[in-house]
Amino acid sequence: MLAGGLLHNRLGGTGFLMPWLLFAMLFIPFCGVRPADLRLGGLHAALLGFQAVVSVGVYALVRMVDVEVAQGAMICVLAPTATGAVVIASMLGARVETMLSYSLLVNFAVALGAPLFFATIAPAEGVSFGATFGVILGRVIPVIVLPFVVALALRRLSPRAAGAMRRLRPLSFWLWLAALTTTTAQVVNFVATQTQLTLAKGLSLAGAALVLCLVQFFAGKWIGRRHGETMAGGQALGQKNTMLAIWLAQSYLDPVSSIAPAAYVLWQTIFNSVQFGLVSRKRT
């Protein structure tokens, strides 16, 4: 994150690498996933219900004080699970199958529900359902569905090669670090160009993102614990696709509100770093 922030002028244009990094990062653990293990259950329903209810509730509550902060807070909850959450959760001990199935479910749900929600809270923006649905699926299919399909094909055609790829799972962590560096550079570039942002509004949006980051991680862990998957619940609910959230906020809400998901990048990465340290200490 420090490297991405300091070198944002040089790395800001490397966003085109993100799909390739995410594809490679997910392809490795997907080589060990069987389609029969991808099942939807009570955990998925509870997590999806939390996102739907809390995103509407937090918007209705905060808009009485500040509409822009309300929009930023809402998008931090509504945003689907991050693509990299599958890899991070597996490194923390969660089941890849649970994360993959929820990631697919929540991305499709947001693609269907977001345009309707935005049309309700910001009807003047003229939200296009088809355009939003197409863009979200266009971002999901190449980095989640495609590596899964390729991994399944490799398992069937060459089980030995698939086994060799599974042994490369530690490489996914370094690919995630490269993706995080690129994401940080893009976020810093974006924040630096916001001429309408005041210090007070920026702190309010960042503070709301921090509170919601903690709430979602711990709520997800609580929900996951009730279904025997504590870590999967926390990562599925807490780790967000912030770049997609920023795009949604800029496209259909007040552009200033996108500072909240931009700050969420910082908070969720710090939280994940703490989790890595705790898990490593526990294992040793």
What does the alpha-carbon distance between residue 8 and residue 140 come to, in Å, rounded to a whole number?
A: 25
In tens digits, what is the pLDDT along the chain, a chain of 284 residues?
Answer: 888 888 888 886 776 777 788 788 778 877 877 777 778 889 999 999 999 999 999 999 999 999 999 999 999 999 989 878 888 888 888 888 888 889 888 888 887 777 777 767 664 445 566 666 676 667 667 777 788 888 889 988 888 888 888 788 778 778 878 888 887 887 788 777 777 778 888 899 999 999 999 999 999 999 999 999 999 999 999 999 887 788 788 777 888 888 899 899 889 999 999 998 888 888 77
Task: Please name each of the domains of the chain with its CATH number.
Answer: 2-283 (1.20.1530.20)
Amino acid code (one letter) for 45: A
Please give the pLDDT value at position 180: 81
Question: Quick check: pTM over 0.75?
Answer: yes
The phi, psi pair for 198, rounded to 5°, reads: -95, 160
Burial state string for 54-93 with b = 16 or more CB within 10 A and e = fewer than 16: bbbebbeebbeebbbbbbbbbbbbbbbbbbbbbbbbbbbe
Which helix (H) or strand (E) covers residue 230, if one does? helix 230-238
Nearest to 230 by CA among 93, 45, 104, 97: 93
